[in-house]
Amino acid sequence: MHWEFISPGQTVNQEFYLEVLRRLRENVRRKHPELWRLGDWFLRHDNAPAHTALSVTRYLACLGWTFVPHPSYSPDLAPCDIFLFRTMKQTLKGKRFATVEEMKTASQEAHNNIKL
């Protein structure tokens, strides 16, 4: 799973999302060479305008990536909402953070401790 924090004020548009996909591509290549070599992985994203932009669709097609589209208006088909976020919320419940950096660190630790 790849995730990133977005800087305050950053707009998530197609250009930004293409950069995220480039970083994702490099991380998969570096961290999971067996998946990279076999091409045995899927990209799951929703119908946000940045995700469905023509430039993004062309980029994914050019790379030959398989992506699983998310049907419109299907909150019950969002596995992150069901598993990932609920698990992270339970870990972070009741904690207070003095800075954004503390919150990021705690979120990353909670994410890293999830057993998939």
pLDDT digits (tens, 9 = 90+) for 4-62: 888 889 999 999 999 999 999 998 889 888 888 887 777 877 778 998 899 999 999 89
Task: Give the CA angle between residues 11, 50, 71 to the nearest 5°.
Answer: 135
Overall number of domains in the chain:
2
Q: Does residue 19 sit in the same domain as residue 64?
A: yes
Q: Does residue 16 sit in the same domain as residue 57?
A: yes
pLDDT for residue 44: 78
Token pair, residue 110, equals 């909670």
Q: Does residue 3 sit in the same domain as residue 40?
A: yes
Written as one letter, the residue type at 108 is Q
Alpha-carbon distance of 73 to 52, in angstroms, equals 15
pLDDT for residue 113: 82
Token pair, residue 48, equals 């946000």
Token pair, residue 77, equals 């088909």
The distance from CA 33 to its chain's CA centroid, rounded to whole angstroms, is 19
Confidence of residue 90 (pLDDT cuts 50, 70, 90): confident
Q: Does residue 86 sit in the same domain as residue 68?
A: no
Q: Radius of gyration (Cα) for the chain, nearest Å?
A: 16
Residue 22's domain comprises 1-72
Is a pLDDT exceeding 60 seen at residue 77? no
Q: Does residue 6 sit in the same domain as residue 47?
A: yes
Phi, psi of 43, rounded to the nearest 5 degrees: -100, 130
Residues near 43 by beta carbon (within 8 Å), at least 6 away in sequence: 24, 60, 65, 66, 67, 68
Higher per-residue pLDDT: 81 or 21: 21
